[in-house]
Amino acid sequence: MEMGAASYWIAAEGKAPFGGREVFCIVRDTDCITSCCGMSQGFRSVGVPGYVVEWRTRMEEGLPVSVVEPIIDGTERAEIARLLQERYRVSQVEFL
């Protein structure tokens, strides 16, 4: 995935248990980030598409497809972010 100042790639996909459900997690790594102000080292972050409804139940263009339910509750998001920050040793968790 290309962004304005950098790019990232998916390092891992997984599921994390939370409140009797499973959260779909995408671990992302970046390379060096450049901007008008300079350059910084890359970093790792976690993207969260939502709760797993169906896990890798079909293939599209050779890739597994899962069905998710978005996580919209602010309290749940905060708790999940703390859990994933600890589990993956990251500072940034983004709900997609």
Model pLDDT for residues 62-75, shown as the tens digit of each residue: 999 999 999 999 99
Asked which of 10-14, 31-35, 92-96 is least confident by mean pLDDT, the reply is: 31-35
The pTM for the full model equals: 0.82
- State the CB neighbour count (10 A cutoff) for residue 77: 14
Phi, psi (rounded to 5 degrees) for 12? -165, 155
The residues spanned by each domain of the chain are 8-95
